[in-house]
Structure 1
Amino acid sequence: MAETTVSFVLEKLCNLAEKEATLLIGVHGDFQEIKHELESIKAFLKDADTRAADEGEGGSSEGVKTWVKQLREASFHIEDVIDCYSMYLVQRENYSGCIAPIKKVAQVIKTMKQRHKIASDMKNIKTSVGEIKERSVRYKFVVDNGPGSSRGTTGNESFGDLRMASHFIEENQVVGFESPRDELVSCLVEGTNELMLISVVGMGGLGKTTLSKHVFDNKLVKKHFDCRCFITVSQSYDMKELLIDMVKKFCKDSNEPTPKGLQEMDDITLIAQVREYLESKRYLVFFDDVWKEIFCDEIVNAMSNNKKGSRIIVTTRTMQVAEYFRKSFHVYIHKLQHLSSMKAWELFCKKAFRSEAGNLCPKDLEKMSEEIVQKCGGLPLAIVAIGGLLSTKSKTIFEWEKVRKYLRIELENNTHLTGLMRILSLSYDDLPYHLKSCMLYFGIYPEDYVIKRKRITRQWMAEGFVKNEHTRPLEEVAEEYMTKLINRSLVQVSKDGFDGKVKSCHVHDLMREVIIRKVKDSSFCHLMHEGHEQTMDGTVRRFSIAANPNNVLTSTGNSGIRAVFVFDKGELDEHFMDGLVSKFKLLKVLDFEKSRLNYVPDNLGNLFHLTYLNLSHTKVKVIPRSIGKLLNLETLDLRQTQVRELPKEMKKLTKLRLLPVYYRKYEGHYSMLNFTDGVQMQKGIGCLISLQKLYFLEADHGGIDLIEELKKLKQLRKLGIRRVRSEYGNALCNTIQQMNHLESLNITAIAEDEILDLDFISTPPNLKVLNLKGRLTKLPNWIPKLQYLVKLRLGLSNFEHDPLDSLKNLPNLLRLNLWDDAFSGDNLHFEVGGFLKLKELDLTRLNKLSSITIEKGALLGLDHFRFNNNPQLKVVPQDLKHLENLQFLGFADMPPELVESIDPRKGGEFHSVIKHIPLVLIRQKVGSRFHDYELYPIPTLSNV
């Protein structure tokens, strides 16, 4: 992680040198010298980080750790000076104009002191960095030159290595792999005669090698192939040695002599030798633990496609590697899943109670054992390692309670488990430095916290981890980073949306332990969480507070904190907030989401560097006028707050990109028009030229003048505007037509009888999401022309004629919602050939709808169908039986006769219509609030 810190600081130094041509006299040279010294040190940092992370204690290892820590502290100090210098420049600009003489003299004295301090600090830093560089010679660091020179895994495991053990597990010890084993055996011995590659993908410790080795050694597989060989690749390999090893193993497996002179052959001759040997054989080669895409390009020429049904098995932690093989081979990818809870328990008992009759867990240890197994999260290597450790302990509650309670300490220090943590760490250690920083952010969140993808990626952006590549939107780049972490099996998807985008995510419990250790070792963040009683050791950059936030101000004298996250539900008093802003003036990130914050201090504007302020789901009502001083602010998240008006000073925030602000009234009776409150904005909104997302704006405050000003927001990608009147129609259409980047548009009328006149001449070409809530005289003719539209929601439209005929040819529509009398007829007709990609369909409060026709062969891609409070739909649509691929069917507050007709427990005569659907849920309202309801499932063939 020292590499990450130094790289980040180097970028800041370069940016400052480029942007500020008039650096302080005497400071410019110091900046340049420090930059050059850090660049030369950076070349050795991968080696230093690897050696600092080694498990060996004392001696050289401890010396390297100290060196890395000193370098990190120096880098932090440089960053502080740079940020203080940036503040000095702004102050210099602010006071360069005409001001009162006495005030000007005072300011000159103040800035002279700042200049002197900055220059003095740079001199001290230059000396410190020079000394650190000199000490690096003592440790003989080596430069990393890519594959083949890494100090990481060599492929030559030690005799006690857990990975070596996975090669020699007996058949009767393997648990939970029966189904994937049979599937992979079938792929190897059946099907095409073309050369085919089978890739087994999953996180470290999931059992990829164990599964693949058992498939490789299967009797049917052995009999099917003329020759086989097993090759461990790992992060460090020599391709020539690998090919020579492959030839030797093939020859040994076939009882043939090894060709002479392999070692003396050049690369082309050696590849030709391998191809010649394999040309006449049906071969199987197993490449275990492949890390890089380049391996495919290096090996492809040696793999002869002799059309004899030869096969290649590859195990990898990275989906991107698995996909890359498609470039050269027919590929089948098997994504290995975690063990089910039942199989995890079976494996644990086999390991922990191997000496007990029948491997049975004693009754008094069951509860603790279940908690330990749950902590393993279905990861076979963890279950085997921890179960093996427990097998050496006496079977008493006291011994097992110690392991359960102090498992975190055991994972870090117990020699039985350090190998497990090393294996899990490899995926993290292989990341480029910017992704390492992103990965460490998962350690900031408390255990079992639901991490929203948008929230964490916005935090990455605010920190500067996400780089703007070729003017692409930062959000797109951040999503790509997240995809890379998921594809590397480091991050797991908790929930995704109808469009396939990740909505929330998490990391495996044991991977989180790895991350927290890295967080602590690198001073990335100080965790004030229950169960993480960390001592403050040196300089840290972030506070994560999930217990007693009011202690944070007294727990540190470090004023260089860059980010504070508050997850605690305790009261945040005014003293805490005032002190936070006064003490940590270099803050870039403040996140209070779902805390009990109800006050934002007037001195908020002192946080010049603040780029991200998340106040969502708090009780904040007023934003202070000093917010206009936050010239670097990019994200202001006010979702589900009681802020109803923003100060006129907001217009100064020319870097503001994201402004979600609204309050949804879940506590009361639902009304489509009044369910959401937006925000009133003062004149000057057009100054927010960087704004990309703005929702929800109250249109009746400012009227046509406000809408006209929106034309200046050329970068808008998402706009939500409420309380729209009929007379705003032309102005609104003219404004929206100029927003060429707009992807999401949400328009709500001020009243049910208010007609929305949205007769666009041309529509935003990139529109993906459209929400229209208000009376429409007819379906606007531009909607069916939206080629990229994936989500359409219409409410209160009162179409007298079925709108489906006009909408059915939208080529990319995935989700359709018709709500609150969007259609005022009695029958909707879904024809064959329409809505070819539709996945979700929602029909809610269509008060006259009494029947639905779905032609056989229509809606073949539909997997979610919801009906909500359609009072005249008293008979279940019989054509639901045609929806063979439907995965979920929901009925909410529907007539009781319809519900009873599909419930077999009540003699439902139409149960056969829905019995093929895996999940059918009934929702009934039980109170006046939005979330007051009960759920119960209808038994079907799939869930009985």
Structure 2
Amino acid sequence: MAEGIVFAVICKIGSILGNNVAETLRAQLGNKVTILLHIESQVKMIESELKMMKSFLHDVQGKTRYNRQTVTYLQEIQTLAFETEDILDEFASLFGKHQAESAKKLFNCFQKPNVSCWHKIANNLKDVQTRLDKLREAKLQYDISLVEENAVPGEDEEHFRLLVPYQLDPNDIVKMSVEMSSRKEEIQRLLTGEEACMGVISVVGLGGSGKSNLAKAIYEAKKIKEHFDLRVWIKISWRYQLKDILRRMIQDALKETCPMDLFNKSIEDLICITKRTFCQWRYLIVLVDVWHPRHLHCLTQILGETSSGGRVLATSRQTTVGEHLSFSYSIPMSCLSEEESWCFFQKWAFKNRGSGNFVREVEVLARQILSRCHGLPLAIMVVSSLLSCKRSLREWEIFRDRLNWELDDDVHVSGLPWVARMISLSYHRLPSKLKYCLLHCSLFPEECFMRRKRLIRLWVAEGLIEPSGSRTLEDTADDYLNELISWCLLNVVETNVFGRVKQCEMHGFMRNIALSESCKDKFCKVYENSTGRMSNGEFRRISIHEYDDQLQLSTHIRHLRSLYQFDVSVDMPMISLLKSAKYLRVLDLQGCSVTDLPEFIAKLFNLHYLGLRGTNIQKLPRLIGRLHNLQTLDITSTKIGKLLIAIIRLRKLRHLIMGKRIGLYPRVVDRWDAVEIPDGPWELLELQTLKIISASIVLVQQLGKMAQLRTLRIGNVKRMHCEPLFSSIDSMHFLRKLEVLSDPGDFIDLGALTCPSHHLEKLLLNGRLQDIMLESPLFKQTANSLKLLSLENSMLNADPLPQLSCSCNLVALTLSNAFAGKQLHFHDGWFPMLQQLDLSDLCNVELITIEEHSIKKLSELSLSKMTGLKEVPNGIAFLTSLQKLSLVDMHQEFMKNIEGAAGAELQGVALVRCFDQAEQRYLPFIFSMKVDCRDKLKEEESEETCHGHYTYGDLGVKRFGTKGRFFEILILVSQAGGPVAYLILKTS
């Protein structure tokens, strides 16, 4: 990893030289700052030397063992690069400290005794140059070579080209193995048995044998979904205590209805809530990677009193995990047979090749390589993915020889499980530009899902992304992420409606390897549980997963570049130590119990990322304008309602993310409060993300300077703001997302928007629109790019569908209080790509017509508060792709008609009728979900479907089950105690 730190130092040098520091000061102070010119000359010489060294180190990637001389040589390079980085940061610190001073004060900093600091930097750089010369001589003297014999010319990162992220279907492995298919059927039979008492089924086997994939295939099986009322899936970290498992179970079961103070609950309270949540239902709890058998023992004691037919399915590498438990079964996992392995191997190794000639040419080699995988699916997946980019028979031969050499090298792989060695091959063959990004992912807790946008911003702030032509660093980072996913080093957890990655995770084996490599290269140190409290060496990055008083950070602070805090249950007692971390680059405290940020944070000149999302911070440091290098400021969901004017002078700021969600419960009431900024001249010319900002006349005029904006969300927009706002938006040629929220009742005048961005994908308008606005260039010029459109409170008299139908690539459409007419007609050919349609508060609409070849890909339809609609939409039977139908607060006659239409027009849709026992009436609500066969409630089940009622504070949750399905209704209760709304939360 020496190449990575050398690259980082080269980038830092480029930044310093690019700022013309010496010329700037000489222009102000004359020739009395010759020491700076000397420093600049030395920096240029070091830069040239490091560039040559980086080219030399480029040949290291892919090789996994060296002789002792080479190892020592690489360590010296890394140490020297780290020291050079410190010197350059000290230089930037001194310059940054005085760059805002007057010329007189600036001149004084080059007089005694301050001038000694500059001379010290010059001397240190001279020492670096001397040591670089000696390293070059040592390379020649000891004949140090990093190029392997028989290496294939041109085998570099170009082979790791960007691919479409490939997400493995859990059933892929199961279907390929006769034994796994048999195991799946056996486990499903055990899970759905008639035994009333709780049972535990454990799936045990080697790491990488497919245990989690088998469990996932079972969890998602139709038979399982129909049998269990409640299902939860929990990935267990080895450091988990019982209380952590119970919290995750409660969170996954209750979702948005989870108690707000869950992390403050005692173990006794957690046990009580767990019993109350699970014991009345037929539940399935899947625990992935159970490390400690005692956890299952405790769980069975907590849930053991239930007689509802609950089940626990656990995967583990320990065969003893389910011993001594009543009603317990242990299912061993076997490896794939030779032919099953070959089938699975072909699926991955040749996924980018259409010709069968090459397959036949390399088959003998392929089977030799495959024999080293011993039938383990994870090992096969890793090796075959690596081979998918090999283009010739010679490359396959070299790969085979390398594989045999490295796996048989007991010294090199000492301490690593066998399958981990296989996975490490994938890591070692990564291009150097991707290695640090992968190591960075190990900073996150094992059970933590990583949000794509957060990762990308952190990678950019950390300096891990190489510039690529005119593309932004964020776009290049997105490519890096997709490459890591393509090579199966990260797994996709969630995608958005466009198919873009939203969240991902790292496999446990890969994380262990990344942690080991990170520690070896001093890239980062992770503190979790009782491990790593004391450590040797100085680490540039620290991630704290669990804090205690024995944690010693003082030894790392001086050289610390990044601090990540994931223990949200405690305050930050060590934040005072950061006063000495003057080179800190990233401070991420997301979700922590931080209430106050010390003023000295504003003195951290090198800070690029400040993450305060979800904290209790009420104000930012008064001198935050001194953070001249800050790129990302995330204060979403904090108590900050107004920013300091100094923010608008942070010229390098790329992402300013603000706003607070308003509502009783997260994700139930989705309204946001905008944050105010005092008026003044904006200097944020590099800004890409701005949300959610409160509009003012000065602000909307200043927005025209920010031509690099990709995302803009602006609130409290008045009619008088519209013309200057949209005139400014015309200059944002890269804008991808635009959200405008007007003052209540105010009009949004789109007339001034004449040349919207051709990149615009998401458009959300919340405010009144005149009918003529439908003719705006905004809708015409974005017809091909727009994928998501939301019109709320538009109150149009004209039907918007004819004009909007030109948006042929629209995937999601929302119309809420947007139309005052009586009919909505979806004509043939309209919205061919639409998957989600949300119609709400269209009180005057009496008729909805859907023609046969309209919205054919629609999978989700939501109708809410359409009080004038009494008839079922004509042509709803044409929606053959419909999977989810949600109806909220609809007219009673509509409810009767849609239930009566179930036989004719809603074949394949299971209807649930919800009865409120407290009100002694049916809820004005119905939820439907597409299933394989029609499954309508029997008449005698109508009033008996309400099985339970739980209350947390003023939040009521009613659960309704029918025919093996489970539905959950959230009832928000007003302060007076009367029901005010009924909202669907989930179905499983």
Q: Give the TM-score category using the shorter length.
A: 0.5 to 0.7
Range that drifts further, 780-789 or 38-47: 38-47
Give 1:887 deviation, angstroms. Answer: 3.4
2:394 and 2:553 map into 1 onto residues whose CA distance is 59
| CA deviation after TM superposition for structure 1 residue 793, in Å | 0.4
- Written as runs of structure 1 = structure 2, the 5 A alignment for 1:33-48 is 34-35=46-47, 38-39=50-51, 41-42=53-54, 45=57
Distance 1:764 1:469 in 2: 26
> In the alignment, which residue of structure 2 is the partner of 1:69?
75
CA distance in 2, matches of 1:461, 1:735: 27
1:337-356 equivalences under 5 Å are none
Q: Which whole-Å CA distance do the structure 1 matches of 2:597 and 2:746 have between them? A: 38
1:780 aligns with 2:774: yes
Give the distance between the partners of 2:344 and 2:511, measured in 1 at CA: 31
Task: Tell me the TM-score normalised to structure 2 length.
Answer: 0.65
Query: In the alignment, which of 655, 658, 663 is matched to residue 658 of structure 1?
Result: 655
Q: What do the CA deviations read for 1:186-229 (whole angstroms, capped 9, x no partner)?
A: xxxxxxxxxxxxxxxxx9988798646359999xxxxx99x955
What per-residue deviation string (whole Å, max 9, x for no partner) do you get for residues 273-295 of structure 1? xxxxxxxxxxxxxx994747875
The Cα shift of 1:760 comes to: 3.0
Partner Cα distance (1:568, 1:640) in 2: 18
Matched, 1:799 2:792: no
Q: In structure 2, how many angstroms separate the alpha carbons of the residues matched to 1:593 and 1:172? A: 42
Moved more, 805-814 or 449-458: 805-814
**CA 1:138–1:531 in structure 2 vs 1: closer, same or farther (change >3 Å)?**
farther
Task: Determine if contact 1:548/1:570 at 8 Å carries over to the other structure.
Answer: no
For 2:574, the equivalent position in structure 1 comes to 576
| Alpha-carbon distance between aligned partners in 2 of 1:812 and 1:151, rounded to the nearest angstrom | 39
8 Å Cα contact 2:632/2:653 also seen in 1: yes
Partners of 2:588 and 2:490 lie apart in 1 by: 22
Amino acid in the other structure paired with 2:12: K
Partner of 1:401: none
| Pair 63,480 (structure 1): closer, same or farther in 2 beyond 3 Å | same
Q: SS at the partner of 1:696?
A: strand
2:111 aligns with one of 102, 108, 111:
108
1:509–1:902 Cα change, 3 Å:
farther
SS at match of 1:568: coil
Unpaired runs of at least 5, structure 2: 23-34, 157-172, 184-206, 211-335, 348-355, 370-381, 401-406, 911-928, 933-964, 975-979
1:866 correspondence with 2:858: no
Partner of 2:147: 143
Q: Which moved more, 1:546-555 or 1:722-731?
A: 546-555
CA drift of 1:802 comes to: 2.6
Residue identity opposite 1:114 in structure 2: C
Q: Distance in 2 between matches of 1:716 and 1:741?
A: 6
Q: Which residue in the other structure is 2:231 paired with?
A: none
2:342 maps to 1:213:
yes
1:816 corresponding residue in structure 2: 813
Partner deviation per Cα, 1:600-640 (whole Å, 9 max, x = no partner): 22222211111111111111121122111111111111111
CA distance, structure 2, for counterparts of residue 755 and residue 609 of structure 1: 44
**In structure 2, do the counterparts of structure 1 residues 653 and 214 end up closer, same or farther at CA, with 3 Å as the change threshold?**
closer
| Contact 1:798–1:824, Cα closer than 8 Å, also in 2 | yes
CA offset at residue 127 of structure 1? 4.6
Report the residue type matching 2:454 in the other structure: R
Q: 1:912 aligns with which of 907, 921, 927?
A: 907
Aligned match of 1:719: 712
Asked whether the 8 Å contact 1:49–1:68 carries over to 2, the reply is no
Give the match for residue 942 of structure 1.
Answer: none
How far apart, CA to CA, are the structure 1 residues paired with 2:97 and 2:704?
A: 33
Aligned in 2, Cα 1:557/1:805: closer, same or farther, shift over 3 Å?
Answer: closer
Residue among 832, 838, 842 paired with 1:836: 832
Q: Distance in 1 between matches of 2:20 and 2:346?
A: 65
Same amino acid, percent of matched pairs: 27
Contact 2:709 2:734 in 1 (8 A): yes
* 768-777 or 116-125, larger mean C-alpha shift: 116-125
Give the C-alpha shift of residue 447 in structure 1: 1.0
What do the CA deviations read for 1:799-857 (whole angstroms, capped 9, x no partner)? 233321221121221110112x1123343221111011212211233334444221112
1:24 aligned onto 2:51:
no
Say yes or no: does 1:759 pair with 2:751: yes
2:971/2:981 contact within 8 Å kept: no
Within the alignment, does 1:120 sit opposite 2:123 as a pair? yes
CA contact under 8 A between 1:696 and 1:720: conserved in structure 2?
Answer: yes
Q: Report how far residue 727 of structure 1 moved.
A: 2.8
Question: Within the alignment, does 1:827 sit opposite 2:823 as a pair?
Answer: yes
Could you give the per-residue CA deviations for residues 469-511 of structure 1, whole angstroms, max 9, x where no partner exists?
Answer: 2222222211111111112221211111111211111122221
Q: CA RMSD in A?
A: 4.4
Kept in 2, the 8 Å contact 1:651–1:686? The answer is yes
Q: How many residues are treated as equivalent by the alignment? A: 718
Contact 2:674 2:715 in 1 (8 A): yes
- Residue of structure 2 in register with 1:744 after alignment: 737
Contact preservation (8 Å) 1:549, 1:566: no
Higher RCO (CA < 8 A, seq sep 6+) = 2
The 3-state SS of whatever aligns with 1:72 is helix
C-alpha distance 637-146 of structure 1, shift in aligned 2 (>3 A): farther
Q: 1:848 to 1:584 in 2, by over 3 A?
A: same
Are the aligned partners of 2:533 and 2:550 in contact in 1 as well (CA < 8 Å)?
A: no
Gap runs ≥5 in structure 1: 55-59, 153-168, 180-202, 219-223, 238-286, 301-312, 318-384, 386-410, 939-944
Matched, 1:640 2:637: yes
Q: Deviations over 1:47-85 (max 9, x none)?
A: 76767x54xxxxx76665454334322211110111111
* Pick aligned residue for 1:667 from 649, 664, 667: 664
**Contact (CA 8 Å) 2:636, 2:660: kept in 1 or not?**
yes
Matched, 1:11 2:11: yes
Superposed CA deviations along residues 110-164 of structure 1, whole A, max 9, x for unmatched, are: 5312113213322443454455555555484333699537999xxxxxxxxxxxx
Q: Determine helix, strand or coil for the equivalent of 2:839.
A: strand
Q: Deviations along 1:227-280, whole A, 9 cap, x unmatched?
A: 95544668x99xxxxxxxxxxxxxxxxxxxxxxxxxxxxxxxxxxxxxxxxxxx
Q: The residue matched to 1:533 in structure 2 has which SS?
A: coil
Query: Aligned-pair distance for 1:903?
Result: 7.9
**For residues 291 and 217 of structure 1, what CA distance do their matches in structure 2 show?**
12
Contact 1:842 1:867 in 2 (8 A): yes
Structure 2 residue aligned with 1:768: 761
**Following the alignment from structure 1 to structure 2, what is the Cα–Cα distance between the partners of residues 444 and 602?**
27
Does the 8 A contact of 1:719 with 1:744 survive in 2? Answer: yes
Residue aligning to 2:285: none
- Alpha-carbon distance between aligned partners in 2 of 1:505 and 1:656, rounded to the nearest angstrom: 26
Superimposed CA distance per residue, residues 846-896 of structure 1 (whole angstroms, 9 cap, x where no aligned partner)? 334444221112111222323334445455546332112233333445567
> Which structure 2 residues correspond to residues 205-284 of structure 1 after superposition, within 5 A?
211=340, 213=342, 230-231=362-363
Aligned-partner residue type, residue 695 of structure 1: K
Contact preservation (8 Å) 1:893, 1:924: no
Q: What TM-score does the superposition give when structure 1 sets the normalisation length? A: 0.67
Looking at structure 1, the residues matched to 866 and 839 of structure 2 have their Cα atoms a distance apart, in angstroms, of: 8
Q: Residues 208 and 483 (structure 1 numbering): CA distance in 2 closer, same or farther, change over 3 Å?
A: farther
**Corresponding position of 1:454:** 453
Q: Is the 8 A contact 1:46 1:144 kept in 2?
A: no
Distance 1:139 1:902 in 2: 82
- Deviation string, structure 1 residues 547-568 (Cα, Å, up to 9, x no partner): 1177666442541111111111
Please say if 1:545 is aligned against 2:544: yes
Alignment correspondent of 2:701: 708
Please list, as runs of the form range in 1=range in 2, the aligned pairs for 1:175-574 lying within 5 A after superposition. 175-176=179-180, 211=340, 213=342, 230-231=362-363, 289=384, 291=386, 295-296=390-391, 418-530=417-529, 532-533=531-532, 535-548=534-547, 554-573=553-572
Letter in 1 for 2:775: N
Mapped partners of 2:667, 2:585: distance in 1: 38
